[in-house]
């Protein structure tokens, strides 16, 4: 698990995070204000109910005036209706703002996903990231809407009821006020604990997501290597941990509820005791006493709710903290100001070094390399010698630690990322396909501007037309996650068709090391040859034919270029290349079985 955050202290204080969260609600301030106003109306109507009791009792029983009793049902219904409408409006508006905030947070997170640098993803877990996108955002919205609304709704109800109590009997109220500070301190303690547990729950949600995502992505390997038991255990561990933490939260919540109630009832009991004193009893009318007690009873729910709300807000703060931590991560550095328009394709690497980590080993060491426009160069070298690292620098997926790369005589860092990448087509070592139609995969990134006819042509150029037309829905066939329903060679040809369609002047090819059968190999080979024509091409070559056709070969070893020249030049003498060549290709002189059978 890459993103351990157990016991990570919040980056900033709760209020700062909460204020930042509130900023997300700010664009919807009208709706927010409406919900607050509705809640104020709702809250102020609460004490009215309690107030109604006093004239009702004192009027009807003590003063024997049935008039008030006759009006009472209508007043009651009227009040209920008004309170119902206010409550509905408040819930609706706050719910609306909450969902908007979730959507906006998700939009910002997604945008951040698109813009985080490769170096971030090298050490991130997609399960963890997804948990933030799906789970944490929900926590935030709850805390915002429920939190703010409750502050107004319950807070005002409490204030209103308190005022009523003071109005009915100041002395009794004073007795009752003693519980205030005790309540305050308890709520504070509980909420601190709540935030801590919430952070741990989020982290374990991430871990649950992480384990599940790995199993889903690697389900074939899990099956073949009998990894089910191992994965079950791994998942059970995270699941258990998550469940235990959730239970802690539930226990805290429940215990807090009981505690608050106890403290509150103590206040209640104290009042009853005081009232039982003869000297006090005479100062209060029965109606007043009942209204007072009703107000006190009505206050219990909002006070209990207020503690829960404080907890929900703590959850939101914990979630907000982890979301903001991600949102504050540095994005892919652009820095370019020039828009790269036309490209000739003259590429120079000048003393380029790359260390993936600061102070780590160099994957590339003082690499110099030149490509003239339209040339094709091949990179060869053992696994891990730095070939892929070298080509990744051209579209600025990573930045060189030292040295510079020039395109048409200018440092590529001068160009905006977008315009630089527009001129580069890339076919990677592992083909990346999206769970979309064949057509959309080929036209990836340029779907709007491309006609079906152009997609067809690109597929034709990539020697992919035959098999695509043989698919159940042709170009509209959905290829499954990572193109799972296609064969390896078919996937490669779709990736090639994508590069063909992009029609960029610079082409980067990281040939797949996996061998294809002779028939597919020939198709892919032909497709590549067409693709490379007329473009400046950097190809990491594993196929002999690609190497032989290259204008120049650069031989890499331990991050350095140790030899360069044409195939013939390099084969002469005792070069490292000759050795590599012998190891890699000599056994291929034995004809593949498929070809043997094809012989007459
Ligand atoms: N994202 C990364 N983070 C850290 N180290 C990396 C990363 N990618 C590659 N490396 C390291 O850099 C070195 C060169 O790797 P690279 O992928 O460039 O090799 P390669 O020549 O393409 O090998 P292959 O032929 O197997 O694809 C290796 O030691 C590798 O462990
Ligand atoms: Mg590689």
Please tell me the predicted confidence (pLDDT) of residue 600.
36
Question: What does the H/E/C string look like for 48-79?
Answer: HHHHHHHHHHHHHHHCCCHHHHHHHHHHHHHH
Q: State the distance from the centre of ligand 2 to the C-alpha of 593, rounded, in angstroms.
A: 28
pLDDT tens digits along 445-480: 877 788 999 999 999 888 888 889 999 999 999 988
| Mean pLDDT per 10-residue section of the chain, whose length is 600 residues | 44 79 91 88 79 74 72 85 91 90 95 95 90 90 78 80 84 80 85 88 89 89 90 94 92 88 86 83 81 83 82 88 93 90 92 91 93 92 91 94 94 94 88 90 85 91 88 91 82 89 90 67 78 89 80 92 89 83 64 37
Long-range contacts of 439-444 (CB under 8 A, 24+ apart): 439/475, 439/476, 441/479, 441/483, 441/494, 441/498, 442/494, 442/497, 442/498, 442/501, 443/498, 443/501, 444/498
| Ligand 1 pocket member 383 (CB < 6 A) | yes
Residue 384 in contact with ligand 1 by CB distance below 6 A: yes
CATH topology of domain 14-327: ABC transporter transmembrane region fold (1.20.1560)
Best residue for ligand 1 mutational test, from 354, 384, 547, 562 (most atoms within 8 Å of Cβ): 384
- Nearest ligand by distance to the CA of 560: 1
pLDDT tens for 33-51 read 998 899 888 878 877 777 7
What pLDDT does 416 receive?
A: 94
Predicted confidence at residue 533, as pLDDT, reads 84
Going by CA atoms, what residue is nearest to atom 19 of ligand 1?
384
Longest dimension (CA), the chain: 123
| Other CB atoms within 10 A of residue 307 CB | 22
Asked whether 6 lines ligand 1 (CB < 6 A), one says: no
Nearest partner of 177 among 270, 261, 288, 304, judged by Cα: 270
> Atom 28, ligand 1: which residue's CA is nearest?
384
Ligand nearest to the CA of 117: 1
Residue nearest to atom 22 of ligand 1 (CA): 388
Contact 418, 588 (CB under 8 A): no
Calpha distance 107→155 (Å, rounded):
32
CA–CA dist 486, 437 (Å, integer):
12
Place of tokens 């215990």: 255
388 lines ligand 1 (CB under 6 A): yes
- In the DSSP assignment, the letter for residue 455 is H
* 3-class SS of residue 411: strand
Tokens 């396909």 belong to: 433
Ligand nearest to the CA of 379: 1
> Does ligand 1 come within 6 angstroms of the Cβ of 385?
yes
CB 292 within 8 A of CB 198: no
Report the alpha-carbon distance of residue 517 to residue 181 in Å, rounded: 79
* Fold of the domain spanning 334-423+506-515+535-600: Rossmann fold (3.40.50)
Q: Could you tell me the distance, in angstroms and rounded to a whole number, from the CA of residue 305 to the centre of ligand 2?
A: 58
Contact indicator for 202, 322 with CB cutoff of 8 Å? yes
Percent of the chain as helix, strand, coil, to the nearest 5? 65, 10, 25
Give the ligand at the shortest distance from the Cα of 389: 1
Question: Which ligand approaches the C-alpha of residue 363 most closely?
Answer: 1
377 Cα distance to chain centroid:
39
How far apart CA 208 and CA 186 sit, in angstroms, is: 33
Residue nearest to atom 10 of ligand 1 (CA): 363
Q: Is 365 in the pocket of ligand 1 (CB under 6 A)?
A: no
Strands of 506-510's sheet in order across = 424-427, 506-510, 536-540, 376-381, 552-557, 560-565
- Cα(593)–Cα(600) distance, integer angstroms: 13
Mutate to test the pocket of ligand 1, among 2, 388, 540 (most ligand atoms within 8 A of CB): 388
Q: What is the pLDDT of residue 586?
A: 67
- The CB of 386 under 6 Å from ligand 1? The reply is yes
Q: Would you say 346 and 405 are in contact if contact means Cβ atoms under 8 Å apart?
A: no
With a 6 Å cutoff on the Cβ, whether 430 touches ligand 1 is no
Nearest CA to ligand 1 atom 29: 384
Does any ligand 1 atom lie closer than 6 A to the CB of residue 360?
A: no
Q: How do beta strands 552-557 and 560-565 pair? A: antiparallel
CA-390 nearest atom, ligand 1: 18
Shortest-distance atom of ligand 1 to CA 429: 27
Ligand 2 centroid from CA 460, angstroms: 28
Query: Where in the chain do CATH 3.40.50.300 domains reside?
Result: 334-423+506-515+535-600, 432-503
Rounded distance between C-alpha atoms, residue 461 and residue 470, angstroms: 17
User: Does the beta carbon of 122 sit less than 6 angstroms from any atom of ligand 1?
Assistant: yes
Task: Please give the distance, rounded to the nearest whole angstrom, from the Cα atom of residue 222 to the centre of ligand 1.
Answer: 25
Ligand 1 mean position, distance from CA 425 (Å): 21
* Residue nearest (by alpha carbon) to ligand 1 atom 17: 388
* Cβ-based burial of 81 (10 A; exposed 0-12, middle 13-18, buried ≥19): exposed
Query: Which residues are CB-contacts of 533 (< 8 A; sequence separation ≥ 6)?
Result: none
Is the CB of 387 inside a 6 Å radius of any atom of ligand 1? yes
**Residue from 124, 364, 389 to probe ligand 1 pocket by mutation (most atoms less than 8 Å from CB):** 389
Residue 334 burial by Cβ neighbours in a 10 Å radius (0-12, 13-18, 19+): middle
Yes or no: say if 141 and 99 are a contact pair by the CB < 8 Å rule: yes
Which of 386, 398, 542 to mutate for ligand 1's pocket (most ligand atoms within 8 Å of CB)?
Answer: 386
What is residue 376's predicted lDDT score, i.e. its pLDDT?
92
Helices (H) and strands (E) in the chain, counts: 23, 10
Rounded (10°) CA dihedral 96, 100, 101, 106: 140
The conformational region for residue 409 under phi > 0 = left, psi -120 to 50 = alpha, else beta, is: left
Cα 363 to ligand 1 centroid, rounded to whole Å: 7
Determine the Cα–Cα distance for residues 453 and 439; give it in Å rounded to an integer.
10
Q: Give the pLDDT confidence score for residue 516 in this predicted structure.
A: 63
Alpha carbon of 513 to ligand 2 centroid (Å): 9
pLDDT at 589: 46
The matching CATH number, chosen from 3.30.565.10, 3.40.50.2000, 3.40.50.720, 3.40.50.300, for 432-503 is 3.40.50.300
Residue nearest atom 14 of ligand 1, based on CA coordinates: 386
- pLDDT score at 248: 93
CB 562 within 8 A of CB 555: yes
Please compute Rg for the chain using Cα positions: 35
Rounded Cα gap, residues 241 and 246, in angstroms = 9
Is the distance from the beta carbon of residue 120 to the nearest atom of ligand 1 less than 6 Å?
A: no
Q: 389 in ligand 1 pocket by Cβ < 6 Å? A: yes
CA distance 412 to 239: 47
Q: Which residue intervals of the chain bear CATH 1.20.1560.10?
A: 14-327
Name the token pair of 129: 């990231």
Ligand 1 pocket check for 111: Cβ under 6 Å: no
pLDDT (0 to 100) of residue 598: 36
Q: Which of ligand 1's atoms lies nearest the C-alpha of 542?
A: 25
């Amino acid at each position: 698990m890459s993103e351990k955050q157990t016991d990570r202290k919040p980056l900033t204080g709760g209020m700062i995070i909460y204020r930042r969260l509130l900023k997300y609600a700010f664009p919807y301030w009208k709706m927010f204000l409406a919900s607050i106003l509705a809640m104020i109306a709702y809250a102020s109507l609460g004490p009215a109910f309690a107030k109604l009791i006093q004239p009702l009792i004192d009027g009807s029983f003590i003063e024997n005036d049935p008039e008030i009793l006759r009006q009472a049902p209508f007043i009651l219904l009227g009040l209920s209706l008004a309170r119902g409408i206010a409550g509905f409006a408040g819930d609706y508006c706050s719910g609306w703002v909450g969902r908007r905030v979730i959507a906006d947070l998700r939009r910002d997170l997604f945008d951040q996903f698109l813009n985080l640098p490769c170096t971030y993803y090298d050490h991130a877990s997609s399960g963890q990231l997804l948990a933030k996108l799906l789970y944490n955002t929900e926590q935030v919205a709850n805390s915002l809407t429920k939190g703010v609304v409750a502050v107004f709704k319950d807070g005002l109800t409490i204030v209103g009821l308190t005022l009523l109590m003071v109005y009915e009997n100041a002395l009794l109220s004073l007795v009752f006020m003693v519980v205030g500070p005790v309540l305050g301190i308890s709520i504070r303690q509980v909420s601190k604990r709540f935030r801590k547990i919430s952070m741990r729950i989020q982290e374990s949600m991430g871990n649950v997501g992480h384990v599940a995502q790995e199993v889903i992505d690697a389900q074939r390997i899990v099956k073949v290597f009998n990894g089910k038991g191992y994965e079950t255990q791994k998942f059970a561990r995270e699941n258990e941990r998550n469940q235990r933490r959730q239970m802690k939260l539930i226990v805290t919540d429940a215990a807090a509820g009981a505690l608050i109630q106890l403290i509150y009832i103590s206040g209640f009991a104290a009042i009853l005791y005081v009232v039982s004193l003869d000297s006090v009893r005479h100062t209060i009318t029965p109606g007043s006493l009942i209204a007072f007690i009703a107000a006190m009873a009505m206050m219990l729910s909002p006070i209990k709710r207020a503690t829960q709300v404080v907890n929900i807000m703590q959850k939101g703060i914990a979630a907000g903290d982890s979301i903001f931590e991600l949102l504050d991560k540095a994005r892919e550095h652009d820095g370019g100001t020039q828009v790269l328009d036309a490209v000739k394709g003259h590429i120079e690497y000048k003393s380029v070094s790359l260390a993936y980590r600061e102070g780590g080993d160099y994957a590339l060491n003082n690499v110099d390399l030149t490509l003239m426009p339209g040339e094709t160069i091949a990179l060869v070298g053992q696994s891990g010698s730095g070939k892929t690292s070298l080509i990744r620098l051209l579209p600025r997926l990573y930045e060189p630690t030292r040295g510079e790369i020039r395109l048409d005589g200018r440092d590529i860092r001068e160009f905006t990322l977008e315009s630089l990448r527009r001129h580069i087509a890339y076919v990677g070592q592992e083909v990346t396909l999206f769970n979309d139609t064949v057509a959309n995969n080929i036209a990836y990134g340029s779907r709007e501007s491309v006609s079906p006819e152009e997609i067809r042509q690109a597929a034709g150029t990539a020697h992919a037309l035959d098999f695509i037309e043989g698919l159940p829905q042709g170009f509209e066939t959905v290829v499954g996650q990572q193109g799972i329903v296609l064969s390896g060679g078919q996937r490669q040809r779709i990736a090639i068709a994508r590069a063909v369609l992009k029609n960029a002047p610079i082409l980067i090819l990281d040939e797949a090391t996996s061998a294809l059968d002779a028939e597919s190999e020939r198709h892919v080979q032909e497709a590549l040859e067409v693709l490379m024509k007329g473009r400046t091409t950097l190809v990491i070559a594993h196929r002999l034919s690609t190497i032989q056709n290259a204008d120049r070969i650069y031989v890499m070893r331990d991050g350095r270029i140790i030899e360069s020249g044409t195939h013939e030049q390099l084969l002469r003498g005792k070069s490292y290349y000759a050795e590599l060549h012998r190891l890699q290709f000599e056994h291929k002189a034995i004809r593949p079985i498929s070809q043997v059978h094809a012989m007459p």
